[in-house]
Structure 1
Amino acid sequence: MNCVKISEAEYPLMEYIWEHAPISASALAAYSQDAFHWKKNTTYTVIKRLTLRGALERQEPGFIVTPLVTKQQVQQSELENLCNRIFAGCSKDFILSFISRESVSDEELAQIKQAVQEYQR
C-alpha cells in the first residue's frame, strides 16, 4: 500500500481533522494552541506540509481543510510498514508477537479470535 506518511507530531492534528472535517484553518489553529501549545504559524506550517504530501486539501476562501486520506488508510499503511520492517513482512509473526504480550486480556484475545473467524467467512 502506498499511503501518505504522517509523523507522530502530525498525527494528533490529523485525528482532530478526521473527526471535524471540513474545518477552517483558524479553528485548527485555535485547537492546536489549546491542545499542543502550538503557535498559529506552526499549525499552518503543519497544514502546508500535509497538503504538499497529499494528506489534506486546502480550499479557499476561508482556508478550509479537508482530509484526502482516511484514518484507516494511514493505519493500514503504518501497520504494513511495521510488519515489513520488524517482521520481514510475515503477518503471522507480527500477530503472534502482538498477542503474546502480557497486556493482552482474555477478552481482547476472544475479540481477536472472533474477528479472525469473521474475516475467514
Structure 2
Amino acid sequence: MKEYKLAESEKRFAELIWQNEPIGSGELVKLCEKEMNWKKSTTYTVLKKLCEKGFFQNENAVVTSLITKDEYYAKQSVTFVEDTFGGSLPKFLTAFISGKKISKHQAEELKRLIDEYKEV
C-alpha cells in the first residue's frame, strides 16, 4: 500500500469497519446510513476505493481489514514526524513536551522504549 492518507470521511468509514469487523457488507451499509447518513451507493463506492488502496477486503460480502487501525495510525505518526520535523524524533519530542513536565513514570517508560528500540 503506497498511500496511507485517508480523507476525514474515509477515516470515519474505516473506524466503523475497524470497530465492527468482520462485518457483512449489508450490515455496513445500514451502519453507514445510520452513522454517516450515507446512501448504499456511497458506502459501496468508498469501500471499493479503500479495497483498491489495500485497506480492506470484501470477500463473500464480508468486509475485513488488511491493515489494522494501529498500523494506520503508526504510519501517520511516522509521516507526521518526517514531514514536520525532518524525521527527527528528538525534535518532535522536544516540541511535544515543550513547557510541560513529565512524570517520573513517563520518563522511565520513554527510557525503556529507547533502550528497547536502540540500534546496537
TM-score by length of 2: 0.81
Alignment of 1:1-121 (within 5 A): 4-60=4-60, 63-100=61-98, 109-110=102-103, 112-119=106-113, 120-121=115-116
Match of 1:9, SS? helix
Q: Is the 8 A contact 1:56 1:69 kept in 2?
A: yes
Match of 1:49, SS? helix
Identity of paired residues, percent?
A: 27
Structure 2: runs of 5 or more not aligned: none
How many residues are paired up?
A: 114
CA distance in 1: counterparts of 2:30 and 2:109, whole angstroms: 39
Deviations 1:23-45 (A, max 9, x none): 01111111111111111111111
CA distance in 1: counterparts of 2:107 and 2:37, whole angstroms: 41
Deviations 1:36-86 (A, max 9, x none): 1111111111100110001001112xx110000011111111111111111
Q: Is the 8 A contact 1:58 1:66 kept in 2?
A: yes
Deviating 4+ runs (over 4 angstroms):
none
- Indicate the RMSD between aligned Cα atoms, in angstroms: 2.2
Deviates more, 1:36-45 or 1:5-14: 5-14
Q: Quote the offset at 1:3 in angstroms.
A: 6.4
